[in-house]
């Protein structure tokens, strides 16, 4: 005799298996629909982007746009050439302000009975220096003048090159002197030379590229 409980159990297992198969089928079907929709959406986006690219390329071929591009390239090349020149002009302006400060300090430090007859500046191996020539009533006044200038922020260690005693037109003693003042930082000369050489190199590179 067949066990009724066993038949019911097998029937329930078959129903669960059928339900699982249906669930798997509809799940795969839904996944397939999603993949198809995703494919069509990506295809639409690709076609849209390609159309935008074609429109952009077509607009770039417009004569007006091409002329604007040429003008932009011309302006870029002019900026590359004028940039170093602007730096040179700025350094010239800065050096002018610094020279005014140096001359002002040198003039303000001159004591009574001391006169400056010559003022020159030149480059040296280790930077830049000022040469001063003048006359004083005594060597102590020269020393006082040197100490006064030595206190300025731009001046390096001063050096007395020569000091010769002579007679003035009023038959009084005069000490003709020459001294050098090294600058702690060069003013204008070396910086301008460097910027000018950089500008020349950039201009040369630009000419080579244009060829």
Digit-coded pLDDT (tens) for 103-146:
899 999 998 889 999 988 888 877 888 999 999 999 999 999 99
> What is the sign, positive or negative, of the torsion defined by CA atoms of 204, 206, 209, 210?
negative
Starting at the earlier edge strand, list the strands of the sheet with 127-136. Answer: 114-124, 127-136, 173-182, 159-167
What is the pLDDT, as a whole number, of residue 32?
Answer: 86
Spell out, as residue ranges, where the chain has pLDDT lower than 70: 1-6, 85-86, 88-94, 168-171, 188-211
What is the pLDDT, as a whole number, of residue 173?
Answer: 81
What is the pLDDT, as a whole number, of residue 92?
Answer: 62
Question: What is the rounded CA–CA span in Å between residue 38 and residue 55?
Answer: 26
Q: Which of 87, 104, 95, 93 is nearest to 186 (CA)?
A: 95
113: region left, alpha or beta (phi > 0 left; psi from -120 to 50 alpha): left
DSSP H stretches of helix in the chain: 4-60, 63-108, 139-150, 189-210
Assign 183 to helix, strand or coil: strand
Pull the structure tokens for residue 80: 């590359």
Architecture per CATH, 107-188: 2-Layer Sandwich (3.30)
Domain locations along the chain:
1-61, 64-91+191-210, 107-188
Pull the structure tokens for residue 162: 């020569």
CA distances from 42 to 29, 48, 50, 53, 56 (A): 20, 10, 12, 16, 21
pLDDT in tens, 163-179: 888 876 666 788 999 99
């Amino acid at each position: 005799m067949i066990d009724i409980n066993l038949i019911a159990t097998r029937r329930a297992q078959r129903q669960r298996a059928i339900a699982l198969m249906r669930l798997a089928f509809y799940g795969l079907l839904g996944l397939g629909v999603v993949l198809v929709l995703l494919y069509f959406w990506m295809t639409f986006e690709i076609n849209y982007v390609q159309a935008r690219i074609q429109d952009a390329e077509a607009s770039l071929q417009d004569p007006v746009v091409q002329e604007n591009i040429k003008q932009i390239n011309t302006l870029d090349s002019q900026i590359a050439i004028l940039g170093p020149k602007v730096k040179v002009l700025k350094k010239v302006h800065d050096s002018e302000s610094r020279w005014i400060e140096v001359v002002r300090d040198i003039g303000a430090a001159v004591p009574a009975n001391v006169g400056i007859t010559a003022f020159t500046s030149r480059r040296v191996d280790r930077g830049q220096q000022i040469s001063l020539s003048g006359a004083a009533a005594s060597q102590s006044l020269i020393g006082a003048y040197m100490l006064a200038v030595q206190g300025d922020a731009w001046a390096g260690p001063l050096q007395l090159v020569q000091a010769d005693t002579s007679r003035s037109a009023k038959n009084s003693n005069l000490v003709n002197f020459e001294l050098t003042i090294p600058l702690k930082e060069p003013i204008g000369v070396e910086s301008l030379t460097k910027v000018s050489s950089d500008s020349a190199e950039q201009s040369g590179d630009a000419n080579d590229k244009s060829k």
